[in-house]
A and B are shown apart, each in its own frame.
Chain A
């Protein structure tokens, strides 16, 4: 599978329940929205109705939290069928999930749990990504997750693990810049070295979010504005890779939509400043759907 550039959508925000009314009443200027797949794939009520309306007016990416690509349990066929049905209906620009595992022995821990960075884990995950991409009929992006533990038997740094998985499987990388920062603090590595270790042709999207300092570690809460140090990392990523679709995540203590849109505007301004061109948010863009296999 050839690596390809991913669509450049500009700067968007997550589609959250708290903003449904605001969005459908005003259809605000916004480059694109990212919807959490699980909030829509099992719902044929208001959530799906809202998503359909949003999709008619904006590019939409589907971002999952339950694929559990790294679990040793078999891939969940029911999950994949429901995801595929949603993908076929919504025709998202991007389909993504996380490079992690979420459960074992049939029990779901509902978290994005860290994998050991080993050759065994790479082989396991690569094989499953290929199955998922084949089933969905499109390439997916996998996101680096924030973590609070690391395994003593890991043999690679996180960025090398992520890069190797992407290169061997053909999937893209959704690089969460905030997660790079959080992990760099928690596990004491240089976040800029992380960026240097990621192959440019694999990066299809950025996430930006806020986090919360705890007692001795940073917690990826998505409950605050992006901090300056993460904006600096974002600038470095743009200098390295050029303009790439960027999304502001905000999931706890969700502010009114205009405040969220301001964060997206800030990302847009930084991207324009570094990469040139004037990205403008739009309500009437209909790029083609997710990259096909």
Chain B
């Protein structure tokens, strides 16, 4: 007796299992493919398996240019293949299929050899996010005037979605900036050169700039949604009596269009 025809679900699971063998368990029965000229049909599935691998490698190489440059094409392909086994794409947009690469790298063997790699990947992901982010009308420096200091303490600032901070113990901005140079021409001192990089977008141009440690601490807390009051407490703990020029920083940030609005937090009347 002939085997029953496979259902559409069976077919798709079976094909999926052949394209992503390491990540898919096929629960489907056998699906028969017609021979293609003199080749068994199943052999032709390699076209799709290779295509999947090639597309992921290309998509991630476009986002992670610097990681690609540091590793070289062969090692980068290995990285993408092992990443795809751990994080098979669940995003409809191929452009964003590498969103988990920084997280994947943190605990991988790759960072044992290149300890800056996860931070570098994080920087490149933030650059990608900034490139595509929506942009809102920013507040102006003038709009900060007239706010009393007491009010400021209860204020939570909302930043442009393109603004992010990447803190690293390594000079990741220097490494990123030479990503288009031949690997053999790159010579960067890695020792004791921590970088705090702010990623933002001005008009259509993504910018990466270094900030000092106090500014990074302040930004990190504000980006995480803390009020200025909470942030200043943390800053005074970290900076001691040398109070940093917070107002000057805010002026610079608003000049660069990073802040889109602020919200007053509720006062506990009890």
Number of interface residues of B (CB under 8 A): 50
Contact A149 B36 (CB under 8 A): yes
Q: Which of B113-121, B128-136, B236-244 contacts A (4 or more CB under 8 A)?
A: B128-136
Interface residue ranges of A152-208 to B (CB < 8 Å):
152-153, 186-188
Nearest-neighbour CB distance to chain A for B207, whole angstroms, equals 13
Contact A150 B34 (CB under 8 A): yes
The residues of B that contact A153 with a CB separation of less than 8 Å are 5-6, 31-32
Contact A43 B48 (CB under 8 A): no
Bound Cα distance A127, B52 (Å): 28
Closest A residue to B130 by beta carbon equals A45
Interface residue ranges of B7-33 to A (CB < 8 Å):
7-9, 11-13, 15-16, 19-20, 23-24, 31-33
Q: Is B186's CB within 8 Å of the partner chain A?
A: no
Q: How many A-B contacts at CB < 8 Å in the complex?
A: 136
Contact B8 A72 (CB under 8 A): yes
Q: Is B95's CB within 8 Å of the partner chain A?
A: yes
Number of interface residues of A (CB under 8 A): 48
Q: Is B173's CB within 8 Å of the partner chain A?
A: no
Contact with B along A9-25 (1 / 0, CB 8 A): 00000000000000000
Contact A42 B131 (CB under 8 A): no
Contact B88 A107 (CB under 8 A): yes
Contact B16 A107 (CB under 8 A): yes
Instruction: Indicate which residue in A45, A79, A118, A124 contacts B132 across the interface (CB closer than 8 Å).
Output: A45
Q: Is B72's CB within 8 Å of the partner chain A?
A: no
Pick from A109, A153, A186 the residue with the most CB of B within 10 Å: A109
The residues of A that contact B130 with a CB separation of less than 8 Å are 45
The residues of A that contact B9 with a CB separation of less than 8 Å are 72, 104
Pick from B39, B41, B44, B93 the residue with the most CB of A within 10 Å: B93
Q: Is B201's CB within 8 Å of the partner chain A?
A: yes
The residues of B that contact A105 with a CB separation of less than 8 Å are 13, 16, 24
Please report B residues at the A interface, Cβ cutoff 8 Å. Answer: 5-9, 11-13, 15-16, 19-20, 23-24, 31-34, 36-39, 41, 44-45, 47-48, 51-52, 55-56, 59, 88-97, 130-135, 201, 204
Sample of 23 A–B contacts (CB below 8 Å) = A38-B94, A42-B95, A42-B96, A42-B132, A44-B133, A45-B132, A45-B204, A46-B204, A66-B92, A66-B94, A71-B12, A72-B9, A79-B92, A107-B23, A108-B97, A109-B16, A109-B19, A113-B15, A148-B44, A149-B41, A149-B45, A149-B48, A150-B41
Sample of 12 further A-B pairs with CB below 8 A, known A148-B47, A151-B11: A41-B93, A45-B204, A46-B131, A46-B204, A72-B9, A76-B92, A105-B16, A107-B88, A109-B16, A149-B45, A216-B37, A217-B47
